[in-house]
Amino acid sequence: MFIAGIISEALLYSCFSFVLGSFILNLVPKTVRPEIRIPKGILLGAALGIAIFSFLPVLKIVLYLYEDLGLGYTLKSVLTNFEVGKTWISTGMISLILFIYLLPIKLEQKPLFSLTGLIFTLILIASLGWSSHAASLSKLAGFVTHSSHFLAVTTWVGILMVVSWFSQNHDHWLKFLKWFSPVACFCLVITTLTGISLMTFHMELTDYVSVTAITYGQTLLIKHIAILPLLAYAFINSFLIRKRLQKEPSFNPIPWARIESVIVLIIFSVTGALGQASPPHELNSMVRADGAAKLFSFFHPGEISFPIHFSPGAPSIALFLIALLFLVLVIVMFMKKAPKALSFVLSLLFIVTGYIGFMLSIS
């Protein structure tokens, strides 16, 4: 179920991003974006996927309870009495309506078609925010924070995903970057602020290092490290490519945008794993009951004494410098026109080296 949860959440975020990006780009004039052709089957699959992949939290509760109460009764009870079940009913219905709505239309024919689809998607995002863990802790604040975070992420990623995989050419790419770069920067700021706020619903920020002793903290750490290569590719695709295109109009920027979208998929997968882990409440009690995370124990076997401190020594500082070198080389690979696969490998090496450096820095 853990692996299923990771895959399901990653696919859910991808479906939301794809649907949202499709509607937004079809509302943008063709003169300021490349030609885009979105297969109808994929768009319909993404709309239906929102209903399918958002069902997993309901399924987890049902599987936990059904042996005592029976499958049919448990499913009915969860859907009608649990907040997560009631929310999924509305999510499933809206997703199904969106699916039926998209069947006979072509988005490129009228902006109204995309605008209506966008409204449906915003309602779905609000529904997801209403059933989020943050909303269960603080209804209004959690709902607003989670929904804003999710909307900012899926807007940025959705546009990137659609334009990188479904562009027929790179015409008007400079004009596309002229409006997309500020949008991406704004989304990044909102994502960062709301992301920090969401963390405070589960933990004190000062406990960040100590929380790495449990699976939740390990996953959060890996996610944060993986964001840095994403920012490097965002820098390449927003600024360096603009300069390259001004000098070489025939240069094709799409493969670099695709690498950025693959990094995003990795982060989505890590976020899916984060959603399966228990948030920290009483660290001492959690570690006594379940033990430390396996990755933490690999680097720090033995008894854990809280609080855990961040105190880098010579080996970890050396690893941080090597990781920084890998990150710089990601950008250098673009400037030197090196193979794109090498750039991607370097970004993975940054994540691994940065993670090991962090783990060797705590005591």
Lowest mean pLDDT among 165-179, 272-286, 315-329: 272-286
* Alpha-carbon gap, residue 280 to 215, rounded angstroms: 9
DSSP state of 167: B
Q: ∠ CA 213-218-220 to the nearest 5 degrees?
A: 130
When pLDDT is averaged across residues 240-248 and rounded to a whole number, the result is 93
Q: Rounded to an integer, what distance in angstroms lies between the CA atom of residue 156 and that of residue 257?
A: 12
Q: Which two tokens stand for residue 16?
A: 């939301």
pLDDT > 70 in the chain, percent:
99
pLDDT given at position 157: 94
What would the mean pLDDT of 143-170 be, rounded to a whole number?
A: 94
Residue 161 has pLDDT above 90, yes or no: yes
The yes-or-no verdict on residue 114 having pLDDT over 80 is yes
pTM score of the predicted model: 0.92
Look at residue 6 and tell me whether its pLDDT is greater than 90: no
Range scoring the smallest mean pLDDT among 66-70, 75-79, 217-221, 315-319:
66-70
Report yes or no: 330 and 251 within 8 Å, Cβ to Cβ: no
Q: Are 160 and 233 contacting, i.e. CB atoms less than 8 angstroms apart?
A: no
Q: State the Cα–Cα distance between residues 126 and 141, nearest whole angstrom.
A: 13
Calpha distance 220→137 (Å, rounded): 19
The confidence score (pLDDT) of residue 5 equals 77
Q: Scan for tokens 């005592």, then name that residue.
A: 68
**Sequence ranges of the domains in the chain:** 2-308
Q: What is the mean pLDDT of the chain?
A: 90
Tally Cβ neighbours within 10 Å of residue 4.
Answer: 13
Q: Phi/psi class of residue 110: alpha, beta or left (left: φ > 0; alpha: ψ in -120 to 50)?
A: beta
Question: Within a 10 A sphere around the Cβ of 2, how many other Cβ atoms?
Answer: 11
Answer whether residue 326 shows pLDDT above 70.
Answer: yes
For residues 92 and 86, give the distance between their C-alpha atoms in angstroms, rounded to a whole number. 10
Higher pLDDT, 168 or 275: 168
Q: How far apart are CA 99 and CA 43, in angstroms?
A: 9
User: Tokens 């790179």 sit at which residue?
Assistant: 170
The torsion angles phi and psi of 36, rounded to 5 degrees, stand at: -125, 135
User: Which one is predicted more confidently, 71 or 326?
Assistant: 326
- Which pLDDT does position 125 carry in this prediction? 94
* Cα–chain center distance at 327: 20
Helix (H) or strand (E) holding 147: helix 139-165
Query: 146 near 129, Cβ under 8 Å?
Result: yes
- Least confident span in 37-51, 53-67, 223-237: 53-67
More confident residue, 66 or 269: 269
What pLDDT is attached to residue 292? Answer: 85
Q: Collapsing DSSP states into helix, strand and coil, what is residue 110?
A: coil
Which whole number is the average pLDDT over 160-168? Answer: 95
Flag the least confident range among 151-160, 185-194, 305-314: 305-314
C-alpha 174/C-alpha 97 separation (Å) is 37
What is the pLDDT averaged over residues 152-163? Answer: 95
Does the structure show a pLDDT above 90 at 244?
A: yes
User: What pLDDT is recorded for position 288?
Assistant: 76
What is the predicted pLDDT for the residue at 271? 86
Check whether 1 has a pLDDT greater than 70.
no
